Chains A and B, each alone.
Chain A
Amino acid sequence: MRQRDARVFALTGATGFLGSHLMDALIRKGRSPMILGRRREGMSLADRVAALLAWFDVEDRGALVETAEVDLLEPRLGLERHQYDALCGKVSEIIHCASDTRFSERSRREATESNVHALPGIIRLAKDSRARYFHYVSTAYVSGPGPAPEAPIVSRTFSNVYEETKAEAERQVAARCSLQATPFTIVRPSIVYGDSVTGRSNRFNALHYHVRALGLIRDIYLNDISQRGGRKSREIDIHLDADGILHLPLRIFLVRRGHVNLIPVDYFVAVMLSVLESPRSGRIYHITSDAPRTTEELAAYCERFLGIRGIEMVYGEGPNGGVQNPPEEIFNKLVRPYLPYLSDTRSFDRTNTKSLATGFSAPDLTYDVFERCMRYAVRADWGNGNGKRDAGVSGASDRGEREKEETENGSVERSSIGRNHSYENRGAEKGMRRHR
């Protein structure tokens, strides 16, 4: 008889997009994740996790989940000695999913804190708990330009602060784990969207965000046409065609032809579970698509879904000071930080990932999958709380949330440790909470 897997996975970033899906998958497999995180905006970690369990429809398995409010930047994760010791006694593997995903230079300090400075504490936990493995969720884009092997980073060229800090984090994970003899893996997903089968998502970033932005621009001009006879629309040749499609001339300026490497979250989860099932220390796994869509294909998806036409890719040096119409100006500002990912020509080596299971490939992002995901987003009002919003869903446009969704190492109030817990009063286990 096969013995039940009793490993307890300590999981950071569980209130973010990837982490929450991973938490759900672990629970469904009967595992007992220990969620490490913090309270936010007056909501305890336990309550935040409970909302997510409801969204995943697994609240009945809440008893499997424990939470501990921690501060990754503090010694002993901000816990009292006895709390920390109790935590160490429980954890058998660690999945570090928390991350600050902001790109902008002005977020450098926060990104460095979250992605780099928070590492020693959580890696130290791996040592103190004698964890069997430390799994680090990175990004496929740390590899920099050129071929992307499933190997330690060589490149020192990065597109933004996010890539740079994640690359530094990978180096530290490898160095620190090796030093303390903790086996580790690094997984590198590309850009993740919703569930390819159900279309569901509890975050509406990246792909969703761009589609929503185009939808909002469309609505602005449809409004102008219906309310004021298209006074502003006419100035830039926006009009309704005879077939009811909105003609919306919008050039997107890209440096070169390329593709966008997108994977659905269900694929990310499947690969992660396989990694957890049979990890190989020091291995790096690319969770990417072998058949990335071109920007033109994605633009066509958007046009079809939104009922617009007129999106055009312009390759080269950008507008070069030429006049852009207002939608172009705004949309290209939106796109600017993502340009490296829209004109990607990299091919990601997937040898290690494919070795996990035969035929392990990301599902194709067909129009059907795209439409399913976007329809779900529309029903959920893009997480704005105006539509059929599910508990635990956050809007892509929630101010300050969009790019910082998975950060879990902020400066949690020390006094919050130990509060709001309903876990049996076992003294040393104060600060942790088991969901019931």
Chain B
Amino acid sequence: MVTKVDEALSIAGNCRHYAMCKVDFLGTGVCASGIERGYVSFYPEGRMDLYAALAKGKVPVTEKCVEIAQSCDLCGKCDYQCCFVTGLRPTRVMEALKSHVARHLAAGKPVAQADADPFLQSIRRIVGDEWATNDRAIAVTYSHDPSPLAVPALPRYVIMPGTRQEISSLLKLLGSAGIPWVVRGNGTNLMGFELCEGAVIDLNRMKEIEFDEKSWSVRVGPGVAAFELQREAAQRGYRVNVAEPAALVCGTMMCAGIVSLFSTAYGSCADNYIDAEFVHTDGSFFSLNKKNAPSLFAFDRAGAASPGVCSSLRVKRRPMTGDESGALVPFDSLEKAVDFSRDCAMRRIGLAIGILGPEYLSSFMSPTQRTAVEVKDALARKLGIVCMVLVLGDRYAMASLKEMGHPMIGQDLFKVLSLGLPSLGTADWLEFIAGLPEEEPFGYLKGGGFTDLAEAALCPSASRLVRDFDPDLRPLYEEIYSRPDLTDLVWLNMFRITSSRIGREKQFFPFLMYLPLDHTLIDDVCTGLGSIALRYALKNDLGFITPVDGGKRCVLEYDYFLTRTTEMKWTGYGRPRLRPAPR
């Protein structure tokens, strides 16, 4: 029998730390206590971690634990957000957390006080009492990352500075005491770089967004998430090249550069910003435009120390025309798709180009995992689609694309398919269509009638699309899926609100690399990575390939999907030497 505790632990254990509960990507609002208190512990992501730690006896009920539990009013917003992308219902964990703490208090059990720590007082003198803590209920929510490569570490302090001056003072203080520190984004990093036994600095309070109309730029603070910036930019008729919606703009720009399908037109890394301000590790300030600034492009194979903390970034704004649209061009071989995407990039056709594998596409498009599996089968097996090339562009780019003569799924058909996904898995007619004796693969897409036929066959509707969700979520999701944005290829790729669905079934681990845009080499790389994955029985698939540098090179993502079977645990608070738990 599955108990409520088991269920809550299962849900909590499946949180991928994508932090989608921290951005208002559905327009349904964000957890109020999270906005007010700042620490991730007050957001659903942190509460789930806290509950898991409590239930497993890793941390006691502390003062902050009580505050965290009691500040949740079970409003259900986290269910709307989380279930939309992961299928999870965090509210069940919130209920379990509240119940756990309430029972503890009702039984008259003690509430643990945070350790008296003079050094913490020094930190608080810089950032204020509210914004630095050594409470284990908070620390534990900053202590791990679902990535299989990340080694958990329970930090001694969690600090949330509000200004660059405070960051400066903090770094001086921590440096003088020899306390290691890291700066955390929104909680996931493939290598666990956001984890530290000393101090974790959370910059989520620093959410300034200042548009400079004259310089076509926008200055953003280090706590601004991609979705927040894109939303502000779009409202002003602009676009920015940013990463996944919950990724912090400064963090991703400095750590990984920005890689998106828009990188075809906008480039990556420093192509996307004008300047960045830093607080040096010694507490001094510098900007990248200064002559003596460290070069972020210098590459040290052995790994270089961080030059400091990025405290603001001046991001380029990109113009949008009102006639942008998108299309998906299906291919029956990766080779043809690579050649086509290179052709487009060399001819400067399109703003954004990406070769997408069936796993990627089906995950992003499908509201539930069950549908994703069916859709992948329909695309790959029934229709014989090995990959699709997504091209976004203005009407001239779309006209050029059409002139190139490939069969493609335009915006209208994409909408039909998106809202008709539930019927796709059982559509016998797909195999009939795929078997049409065309001289050209997918030639049936060239006729104007296919969209109409698909619409008649799939009966696309938002209400049918959401029928697999729990009944209480359906009305809201139906309203959301009825919005034009949710079937608009341009909007979906600007805001990427469904991208985290890639980790819905299993934790995904992407390999990202720059490669020459050569189909033989790419095929070799994919085959090699695929065979390694098969050796370890890991699900794997091509993620995406985006041409950059005018088609000379590309960014390739290849994904492994895995389940963490070994739980990591600490050996002691404050000195979290971690080792795998015995099986």
Chain A interface (Cβ within 8 Å of chain B)?
103-106, 209, 212-213, 216-217, 219-221, 223-224, 227-228, 232-233, 235-236, 324-330, 333-334, 336-337, 384, 395-399, 402-403
- Beta-carbon contact of A330 and B459 below 8 Å: no
For B447, list chain A residues within 8 Å (CB). 326, 329-330, 333
- Beta-carbon contact of B431 and A333 below 8 Å: no
Q: Contacts A220-B457, A224-B457, A324-B449 given: A334-B429 contact, CB under 8 Å?
A: no
- Beta-carbon contact of B452 and A224 below 8 Å: no
- Beta-carbon contact of B432 and A235 below 8 Å: no
Across the interface, A326 reaches (CB within 8 A) one of B428, B432, B456, B459, namely B456
A93 CB, min distance to chain B CBs, angstroms: 35
- Beta-carbon contact of A224 and B456 below 8 Å: yes
- Beta-carbon contact of B444 and A336 below 8 Å: no
- Beta-carbon contact of A103 and B453 below 8 Å: no
- Beta-carbon contact of A235 and B452 below 8 Å: yes
Across the interface, B450 reaches (CB within 8 A) one of A103, A213, A330, A334, namely A330
Provide the B413-438 mask, 1 if CB < 8 A to any CB of A, else 0: 00000000000000011011111111
A150 CB, min distance to chain B CBs, angstroms: 29
- Beta-carbon contact of A399 and B456 below 8 Å: no
Smallest CB gap from A403: residue in B: B437
A133 CB, min distance to chain B CBs, angstroms: 35
A395 CB, min distance to chain B CBs, angstroms: 8
For B443, list chain A residues within 8 Å (CB). 333
A321 CB, min distance to chain B CBs, angstroms: 12
- Beta-carbon contact of B453 and A330 below 8 Å: yes
Q: How far is the CA of A224 from the CA of B455 in the complex (A)?
A: 9
Listed A/B pairs (7) with beta-carbon separation below 8 Å: A103-B437, A224-B456, A228-B461, A232-B452, A326-B452, A329-B449, A337-B437
- Beta-carbon contact of A330 and B382 below 8 Å: no
Provide the B366-381 mask, 1 if CB < 8 A to any CB of A, else 0: 0000000000000001
For B437, list chain A residues within 8 Å (CB). 103-104, 333-334, 336-337, 403
- Beta-carbon contact of B449 and A219 below 8 Å: no
Q: How far is the CA of A227 from the CA of B423 in the complex (A)?
A: 12
B195 CB, min distance to chain A CBs, angstroms: 46
Across the interface, A325 reaches (CB within 8 A) one of B434, B444, B449, namely B449
- B148 within 8 Å of A by Cβ? no
For B453, list chain A residues within 8 Å (CB). 220, 326-327, 329-330
Q: How far is the CA of A395 from the CA of B434 in the complex (A)?
A: 13
Q: How far is the CA of A384 from the CA of B428 in the complex (A)?
A: 9
Smallest CB gap from A402: residue in B: B435
**SS class, residues of chain B in contact with chain A:** helix
For B448, list chain A residues within 8 Å (CB). 329
Q: How far is the CA of A217 from the CA of B453 in the complex (A)?
A: 9
Q: How far is the CA of A53 from the CA of B432 in the complex (A)?
A: 28
- B503 within 8 Å of A by Cβ? no
- Beta-carbon contact of B457 and A223 below 8 Å: yes
B267 CB, min distance to chain A CBs, angstroms: 38
Across the interface, A334 reaches (CB within 8 A) one of B381, B436, B459, namely B436
Q: How far is the CA of A36 from the CA of B85 in the complex (A)?
A: 53
Q: How far is the CA of A399 from the CA of B383 in the complex (A)?
A: 8
B336 CB, min distance to chain A CBs, angstroms: 13
For B434, list chain A residues within 8 Å (CB). 397, 399
Smallest CB gap from A102: residue in B: B437
For A396, list chain B residues within 8 Å (CB). 435
For A212, list chain B residues within 8 Å (CB). 432
Within 8 A of A (CB), among B198-254: none
For A236, list chain B residues within 8 Å (CB). 452
Chain B interface (Cβ within 8 Å of chain A)?
381-382, 384, 428-429, 431-440, 443-444, 447-450, 452-453, 455-457, 459, 461
- Beta-carbon contact of A399 and B449 below 8 Å: no
A330 CB, min distance to chain B CBs, angstroms: 6
- Beta-carbon contact of A223 and B436 below 8 Å: no
Q: Contacts A329-B447, A334-B437, A403-B437 given: A220-B456 contact, CB under 8 Å?
A: yes
Q: How far is the CA of A333 from the CA of B434 in the complex (A)?
A: 12
Q: How far is the CA of A399 from the CA of B438 in the complex (A)?
A: 13
Q: How far is the CA of A96 from the CA of B334 in the complex (A)?
A: 37
For B439, list chain A residues within 8 Å (CB). 104-106
Q: How far is the CA of A396 from the CA of B431 in the complex (A)?
A: 10
Q: A220-B456, A220-B457 are in contact. List 5 more A-B contacts (CB 8 A).
A: A103-B437, A220-B429, A224-B456, A333-B443, A399-B431
Q: How far is the CA of A2 from the CA of B452 in the complex (A)?
A: 67
Smallest CB gap from B441: residue in A: A106
Smallest CB gap from B437: residue in A: A337
Q: How far is the CA of A395 from the CA of B461 in the complex (A)?
A: 31
Q: How far is the CA of A212 from the CA of B436 in the complex (A)?
A: 13
Give the interface centre of A227, A233, A398 by most chain B CB atoms within 10 Å: A227
Q: How far is the CA of A106 from the CA of B438 in the complex (A)?
A: 9
For B432, list chain A residues within 8 Å (CB). 212-213, 216, 334, 397
For A399, list chain B residues within 8 Å (CB). 381-382, 384, 431, 434-435
Smallest CB gap from B455: residue in A: A232
Give the interface centre of A330, A384, A399 by most chain B CB atoms within 10 Å: A330
A129 CB, min distance to chain B CBs, angstroms: 38
Q: How far is the CA of A326 from the CA of B455 in the complex (A)?
A: 11
Q: Contacts A324-B449, A325-B449, A330-B449 given: A223-B435 contact, CB under 8 Å?
A: no
A396 CB, min distance to chain B CBs, angstroms: 8
Smallest CB gap from A220: residue in B: B457
Q: How far is the CA of A236 from the CA of B432 in the complex (A)?
A: 22
For B450, list chain A residues within 8 Å (CB). 326, 329-330
Q: Contacts A103-B437, A330-B433, A333-B438 given: A221-B384 contact, CB under 8 Å?
A: no
- Beta-carbon contact of B456 and A223 below 8 Å: yes
For A233, list chain B residues within 8 Å (CB). 456
For B461, list chain A residues within 8 Å (CB). 228
Give the interface centre of B381, B439, B456, B457 by most chain A CB atoms within 10 Å: B456
Smallest CB gap from A397: residue in B: B431
Q: Which 3 pairs show the lowest CB-CB distances between chains A and B?
A: A326-B449, A329-B449, A232-B456
Smallest CB gap from B383: residue in A: A399
Smallest CB gap from B452: residue in A: A326
Q: Contacts A326-B450, A329-B448, A333-B447 given: A397-B435 contact, CB under 8 Å?
A: yes
- Beta-carbon contact of B436 and A333 below 8 Å: yes
A389 CB, min distance to chain B CBs, angstroms: 14
Smallest CB gap from B384: residue in A: A399
Q: Contacts A330-B444, A336-B437 given: A216-B456 contact, CB under 8 Å?
A: no
Q: How far is the CA of A103 from the CA of B435 in the complex (A)?
A: 13
A383 CB, min distance to chain B CBs, angstroms: 11
A332 CB, min distance to chain B CBs, angstroms: 9
B305 CB, min distance to chain A CBs, angstroms: 54
Q: How far is the CA of A251 from the CA of B431 in the complex (A)?
A: 23
For A220, list chain B residues within 8 Å (CB). 429, 453, 456-457
